[in-house]
Amino acid sequence: MPVNDEPAYRAPFPWFSGHLQTMASGLSRRSADVQYVRERIDTPDGDFLDLDWARKSSASLVVIAHGLEGHSRRPYVLGMARAFNSSGYDALAWNFRGCSGEPNRLLRSYHSGCSDDLQCVIEHVLEHKAYDTITLVGFSLGGNICLKYLGEQGAQVPKSIVAAVALSVPCDLRASALRVAEWSNRLYLRRFLRTMRQKIRDKDRIMPGKLNLDGLEQLRDFGEFDDRFTAPLNGFANAEEYWRQCSSRQFLDRIRLPTLIINARNDPFLAPACFPVEEAMASEHVCLEMPRQGGHVGFPDRGGGEHYWSEKRALEFAQERTGI
């Protein structure tokens, strides 16, 4: 499918750099007025997932997956839900394990490859609500999960899922982890590690004696954190095995429905390996757009409109497949 490295997007004043564009949503954007209704569902292994619904009595649904250390009320998730609601879609933003404001029940945590949790969400939707069309939208880590799920399912993906959009995707987890560890990204890394450490402390509080917290505060990057916690808590030998098995780039050739990947070339979190040009060119189903600007989960639009460029582009791609 097409590889477009010149999409018609340019960041507006004063968002001059990839770092500023990355921070745009958090610095300047009001949270969208989206009215959620929460639903809790159980997972097959005895845990739970919290789903936040914004319904419009529609026959079409968008399922939104947030990014690392995010949740359903992040401005970028609310903005995407509002954009789809405004065009008549129901929206469902699901929170990863431990990300909805309450620690999950198990030692297992969410991670970049937890496509089984996305499958659980989709099976619940299909069991309890008959939608004619479903679009998947994932941001960053959530985008990696969506792409991995679609590749794993291949031709067996439920027929009602007709399109997917993945934004700012670290589809090579190792390369992205090394990029985030660079000096220029130290502020982001510190923020991520602060909340990731807190989740470990919260889990230790409700499951005393199950975790060894020695040296927790000294973990310096994703490699060390994933080696110590993410990998062993989720059945991987170490960070390298976790990154290798869960990177979505290796699953792209198995995707069998229209899928759009949008990765900005000035994204401070994405290394060259996170731009799957060869895979997109060889695929009949995967489109890759690489605007020069946008940052990481940024893409602020000109004129201060209520919808960011990324939201309008995701909606446009979905509408081409759903007819709404």
| Mean pLDDT across 163-171 | 98
Query: pLDDT tens digits, residue range 104-141?
Result: 999 999 999 999 999 999 999 999 888 999 999 999 99
- Residues 236-271 have pLDDT tens digits of 999 999 999 999 999 999 999 999 999 999 999 999
The single residue listed with the structure tokens 């060869």 is 278
CATH code that applies to domain 3-173+251-322: 3.40.50.1820
Q: Closest Cα partner for 114 from 167, 179, 175, 49?
A: 49
Global pTM value: 0.96
Q: How far apart, in whole angstroms, are the C-alpha atoms of residue 159 and residue 112?
A: 25
**Are residues 126 and 160 in contact, defined by beta-carbon separation less than 8 angstroms?**
yes
Annotated domain spans of the chain: 3-173+251-322
CA proximity to 70, closest of 168, 149, 163, 150: 168
Among 26-40, 42-56, 74-88, where is mean pLDDT lowest?
26-40
d(CA 68, CA 103): 15
Report the alpha-carbon distance of residue 293 to residue 184 in Å, rounded.
17
Cα dist. 81→35, 91, 145 in Å?
Answer: 10, 6, 18
Catalytic positions: 140, 267, 296
Give the pLDDT score at 33.
85
